Amino acid sequence: MLTCEYPVFICIIVMIIAVILIGISKAGFGGGVGIVTTPLLSLVFPAKMVIGFLLPVIIIADWFIIYHYRKEPDLKNLKILVPGALFGIIAGTVFVDYISDEQLKRIIGFVALVFLIVQFVRIRFGEKTKYDPEWWHGLLVGSLAGFISSIAHSAGVIIAMFLLPQNLPKRVYVATMAFFFAGANILKVVPYISFHLINAETLKIGAMFVIFVPVGVMIGTWLNRKISQKAFTKILYIFVFIIAVQLLLGENIFSLLFRM
């Protein structure tokens, strides 16, 4: 079992919730759901173990959306984003190996807070004119996304800010996002194995919990029909803020509960 800092039942519940959230995000509901997963798990597990455990689960989850959008990605964008992502992934993985687990937790919290700020600015003051990127723009954005994704599996907003101003058709936008992150996640495998972020233990745990991905997909599909995505996303962002602050402070609600 992964090293857990709290009673096993708490760790299992948090793990199940996190994997279900991955499935919900892959179902296309609550655009920022993915940002919750890594910070949430980092509250109860060592952060380096978390990102190693999550990668195979996310790769499997990627195929749920890849299958449905397999003919619709914008290849022009992928050709300039993916090469940059490779550089960012290598740099990010080396960086993770260099820092301590506690430092990584604080960085994950910081990334989550930056995500919230950028989302707010994008929604409130988003550029309305069409954006036609140069090739080097894609390389820079891909590199930054690859770096952040290697640290926290949370770079969706970076690619979104690059693709949305291009006014792509909705399905082309979703497909391009899906293909970029599916490719980036596969590119992470070798560096993660090389730096022992993925090992026999994390793979075993992943195999135990990956069954909850389709559960999340079904929940996400149901939520798409029944609940306002805007309201759901606002609630999630509140949780992201709370979790991020706890990670930055090196304290969390579970510690407080078990001291009472």
- For the chain, the domains span 8-257
Question: Confidence band (pLDDT; 50, 70, 90) for 259?
Answer: very low
Average the pLDDT over each of 95-99, 166-170, 231-235, 253-257 and give the range with the smallest value. Answer: 253-257
Do 162 and 105 meet the contact criterion of CB atoms below 8 Å apart? no
Residue ranges of the alpha helices (H) in 70-154?
Answer: 75-98, 101-125, 135-152
Q: What are phi and psi of 29, to 5 degrees?
A: -105, 140
Separation between Cα atoms, residue 143 and residue 160, nearest integer Å? 14
Separation between Cα atoms, residue 130 and residue 168, nearest integer Å? 9
What is the tens place of the pLDDT at every residue in 17-50? 999 988 888 776 655 566 788 888 988 889 999 9
pLDDT at 258 over 60: no
The reported pLDDT for the residue numbered 121 is 77
The percentage of the chain sitting over the pLDDT mark of 90, rounded to a whole number, equals 35
Kindly state the tokens that stand for 47: 């952060």
The b/e string for 50-81 (b: 16+ C-beta within 10 A; e otherwise) is bbbbbbbbbbbbbebbbebbeebbbeebbebb
What is the tens place of the pLDDT at every residue in 111-136? 888 878 877 777 676 655 566 778 88
Separation between Cα atoms, residue 35 and residue 259, nearest integer Å? 28
pLDDT, averaged across the chain: 83
Task: Give the residue among 119, 130, 146 at the shortest CA–CA distance from 244.
Answer: 119
Separation between Cα atoms, residue 146 and residue 143, nearest integer Å? 5
The reported pLDDT for the residue numbered 260 is 47
| CA 195 and chain centroid, separation | 20
Q: Tell me the CB-side half-sphere exposure of residue 94, using CA atoms within 13 A.
A: 6
Q: What are phi and psi of 44, to 5 degrees?
A: -120, -15
pTM of the model: 0.82
| CA 131 and chain centroid, separation | 25
The reported pLDDT for the residue numbered 226 is 76
Question: Confidence band (pLDDT; 50, 70, 90) for 190?
Answer: very high
DSSP run (H or E) holding 221: helix 212-226
Separation between Cα atoms, residue 14 and residue 240, nearest integer Å? 14
